[in-house]
Structure 1
Amino acid sequence: MKRNLLHLLVPVTALALSACGTLGPNARNQPFDYPQSDGFAGNFLAGKVAQGDNADDAAAQYLFRAQKLEPGNDDLRRRTFLALISDGRIADSAPIARQLLAEQPQQDLFAVLAVTDADIRAKNYQAALDTINTLPNRGLNSIIRPLARAWLFTALDRRRDALAALDELQINKSLSPLSEYHRGLILDYFGDLNGAEQALANAYGDPADAPLRAAEALGAIYERKGQNQKAELLYQSYMDRHPQSLAMPYHLERLKKGEPPISTALTPASGLAEGYLDIATLLSQENAVDPALIMARFSLSLRPGDAVTKLLVGEVMEIRKRWDDAIAIYTSIPKNSPHSWNARLREAACLTEINRNDEAVALLRRMVSERPDRPDALIQLGDVLRATKQFNPSADAYSRAIAQLGGAENVGWRLLYRRGIAYEQGGEWDKAEKDFLLALNMEPDQPYVMNYLAYSWVDRGVNFDKAQDMLKRAVELKPDDGYIVDSLGWVYYKLGHYEQAVTELEHAVSLIPDDPTLNDHLGDAYYQVGRIHEAEFQWHRALSFDPSADLRKEVLAKLNGKKPATGTVATN
């Protein structure tokens, strides 16, 4: 399936990235004060820089101004159009889209979608259908065109044509579930509950393993047919397989209270929005981030309040390192939405990325108070507290999460590893060692746990032989991890095997050149083998990489004549 989908994505991915610029580590993640200008050049340059920064709002603002000043500039027209739709200003993009289609008919998928969007919002469904029909049936069009035609035929009350349009998707067997899902939604729209039930039940095999929306749609059909027991069984089965889902407990509670089902019946516009969201999700799964964002924006244009689509847009903003934009999206999801919980977890993660840690902690503490039965907010709270060196509260948060999950014997190694780090950093070594050993009992060859435990032993002057064997194994498993290689080198140093230490520590620094601790360790090893000038060079490098206050003090002392501590051969 992935190979087939990637083949479909190539044209549209190249189209979007060539005009928008590519995503990558060089994109700015800090606010930029773009210059204000009334002239063409200032607006164009500011817009181009903003577009390169993935700052869609600023790019749209400045390029839109520039385009009005030079409406005949073809390159600018295209660039402005993409900036507008990336920012979700689909209505503003429609006049430019019509110009693009007049110049190059059938050549611009997104221009077709923008014109179609305008016609749908004007309820001019035949015009929208005529525009969609101009798309050649290739590439990503082979998914969009059948879905759009199906929902536009639905809007025109042409049921047979709508279902026939979905048959085009069946050519690619991997798209059969998508076809059947939308068949069920369209049959529901036309009041054929039996046909809708059959299509939705068959779309993804076992409905309990289907996407949430498909499971909810089928459950609503059961309820509307008076088959509440079948609905309850579906909701319970889905919850058993997806225990962190908040939607199904809500539906089960609603059934107990005798409340009516939440309507999942879609209008033609919201049905097409659902199709766009499905496509955006597929694109996102293939890391085609820019086209995924654009398809999600088109989806929100037709269904502005949809929380799932907003979550996808927020995730794209996180990939782009546009943390403030992501937070704005997440906070726009109402707290009474079943998706609010996930949105707030993502909001807290974004807050930590921009060093608003106090706000993240406050948000997560509120969530823990709101739902003390859920471990996810506790685990994330523990992560933030640990990152901000609040180690004892961090360990407490992890412990509460572990208790909710059934105790230390019933959780995976990762959570024990995190709590072990919090214990060790908080000065509770006995508890930390116990967690590390239990984690290794669960995952005997886990290199990160072996590294942390062995390094801690060496730092405490104990278990040198065990630590050495453990770190050799960890390096075998992760030969390109500079921290693990450094730990092995440091064992050799502590054992007084300085030449071996130099070899490993040089390798560690080559893997992670800018870590102050690794450079300090290499400096110490150089000193012990008589390479004094190289040792001083490494200590100066360590100072240049923003070491902690304690490490800075130690390095300065060595540069002022204090000899580094020698290794000590220890017995176990």
Structure 2
Amino acid sequence: MPQRPRSSRLLLALALVAATGLAGCATPRRTDDPATTGSIGTAPQDDRATMEAWTARYRERPDDPSVAMNFAAALRADGRFAQAVEVLQKTMLQAPGDTGVAAAYGKALAENGDFAEALKVIRAANPPRTPDWRLTSAEGAIQDQLGNTAEARRLYGEALKMVPDEPSVLNNLGLSFVFTNELAKAEATLRRAAQNPRADSRVRQNLALVIGLAGRFDEARRVATAELPPDEAEANIAYLKAMLSQPDTWKQIRAADRKPAAG
């Protein structure tokens, strides 16, 4: 039976939902890098447009790994993890040597609660002598979801040795610090990631999240507004304020981290 992520991860998932891009009139925009974990979500209408666009594209080109990965990312953003797993499982058979597909498949399996299979897929595709940074970082994200913080950060460190200052790896490391309420480290890491020209929108949205969690709502609003419509950025800030107004928020997170994952 698939394992479930710890309740602290579920709490944070309310804010750390996968973001997708707007769909263009004729060609859907690529969803954010599947190597990057979590963000404050986009507007529901944007999610619907993205889903419709990538559904149509996938029907036209189901054998294209890039199209399949973006369609799966849209499914994941919509919470349809089992369907994303099915899409990527087919793509793995069509492109068995594609490390990007393997990373996305492993991540989808983890989001669907199948951590054992996710680790199996990632490790099988990642040769020890010539490791791929995407797969190494993806394994780190899975270890974080399992509560294996030290191992997760070791893997992020290994990935950063291969690709120094890679924003998607720094993003995942930053969120690892969020899970343990090390907000100063999380902010410093995400700022470093956001300064990279290759950082996608989710990195900057996660930076806004961490600044908000630290209680600096005006600054968080400014960062979020640069990435989201003003009304949506304001709604996210309001959510953070409400979450942090509960006196036991971080106490519950820490307590949940001490409990074993449910089977």
Q: Normalised by the size of structure 2, how large is the TM-score?
A: 0.57
2:126·2:136 contact (CA, 8 Å) conserved in 1?
yes
Amino acid at match of 1:379: P
2:55·2:71 contact (CA, 8 Å) conserved in 1?
no
Whole-Å separation in 1 of the counterparts to 2:212 and 2:124: 35
What's the offset of the Cα at 1:472? 1.9
1:459-498 alignment, distance < 5 Å:
460=145, 462-498=147-183
- CA 378–513 in structure 1, closer or farther in 2 if over 3 Å, else same: closer
Whole-Å separation in 2 of the counterparts to 1:553 and 1:434: 39
2:190·2:206 contact (CA, 8 Å) conserved in 1?
no
What residue in structure 2 maps to residue 447 of structure 1? 133
- CA 434–471 in structure 1, closer or farther in 2 if over 3 Å, else same: same
Percent identity reads 12
1:339-354 alignment, distance < 5 Å:
none
- CA 552–394 in structure 1, closer or farther in 2 if over 3 Å, else same: farther
What's the offset of the Cα at 1:553? 6.3
Amino acid at match of 2:86: D
Whole-Å separation in 2 of the counterparts to 1:433 and 1:542: 33
Unpaired segments of 5 or more residues in structure 1? 1-29, 32-321, 324-351, 366-376
**Which of 220, 228, 239 is the equivalent residue of 1:538?**
220
SS at match of 2:165: coil
What's the offset of the Cα at 1:400? 3.2
Whole-Å separation in 2 of the counterparts to 1:513 and 1:420: 21
Amino acid at match of 2:68: G
What's the offset of the Cα at 1:412? 4.6
Amino acid at match of 1:521: V
Whole-Å separation in 2 of the counterparts to 1:552 and 1:461: 32
- Per-residue displacement from partner, 1:498-552 (whole Å, max 9, x unpaired)? 443332233223334853123212432xx2xxxx4x35421553355239xx998
1:132-531 alignment, distance < 5 Å:
356-364=53-61, 377=63, 379-380=65-66, 382-389=68-75, 391-403=81-93, 411-441=97-127, 445-458=131-144, 460=145, 462-511=147-196, 512=199, 514=201, 515-524=204-213, 527=214
More displaced, 410-419 or 463-472? 410-419
- CA 387–504 in structure 1, closer or farther in 2 if over 3 Å, else same: closer
Amino acid at match of 1:396: E
Whole-Å separation in 1 of the counterparts to 2:113 and 2:225: 26
What residue in structure 2 maps to residue 557 of structure 1? 239
CA RMSD of aligned residues (A): 4.2
1:378·1:400 contact (CA, 8 Å) conserved in 2?
no
SS at match of 1:388: helix
Amino acid at match of 1:482: P
2:109·2:115 contact (CA, 8 Å) conserved in 1?
yes
- CA 434–501 in structure 1, closer or farther in 2 if over 3 Å, else same: same
- Per-residue displacement from partner, 1:237-296 (whole Å, max 9, x unpaired)? xxxxxxxxxxxxxxxxxxxxxxxxxxxxxxxxxxxxxxxxxxxxxxxxxxxxxxxxxxxx
1:523·1:535 contact (CA, 8 Å) conserved in 2?
yes
What's the offset of the Cα at 1:465? 0.8
Whole-Å separation in 1 of the counterparts to 2:194 and 2:98: 32
Whole-Å separation in 1 of the counterparts to 2:192 and 2:109: 30
Amino acid at match of 2:223: R
What's the offset of the Cα at 1:463? 0.9
Q: After the TM superposition, which parts of structure 1 deviate over 6 Å for at least 4 consecutive aligned residues? A: 550-553
Q: Which has the higher contact order (CA 8 A, sep 6+)?
A: 2
Amino acid at match of 2:57: A
2:181·2:250 contact (CA, 8 Å) conserved in 1?
no
Whole-Å separation in 1 of the counterparts to 2:82 and 2:106: 11
- CA 383–503 in structure 1, closer or farther in 2 if over 3 Å, else same: closer
Whole-Å separation in 2 of the counterparts to 1:360 and 1:498: 40
Whole-Å separation in 2 of the counterparts to 1:501 and 1:414: 26
- Per-residue displacement from partner, 1:110-133 (whole Å, max 9, x unpaired)? xxxxxxxxxxxxxxxxxxxxxxxx
What's the offset of the Cα at 1:401? 4.3
Amino acid at match of 1:476: K
Unpaired segments of 5 or more residues in structure 2? 1-23, 28-48
What's the offset of the Cα at 1:380? 4.9
Whole-Å separation in 1 of the counterparts to 2:182 and 2:55: 45
> How many residue pairs were aligned?
202
What's the offset of the Cα at 1:360? 1.8
- CA 362–497 in structure 1, closer or farther in 2 if over 3 Å, else same: closer
Q: Normalised by the size of structure 1, how large is the TM-score?
A: 0.30
- Per-residue displacement from partner, 1:30-75 (whole Å, max 9, x unpaired)? 78xxxxxxxxxxxxxxxxxxxxxxxxxxxxxxxxxxxxxxxxxxxx
Whole-Å separation in 1 of the counterparts to 2:127 and 2:234: 37
- CA 553–456 in structure 1, closer or farther in 2 if over 3 Å, else same: farther
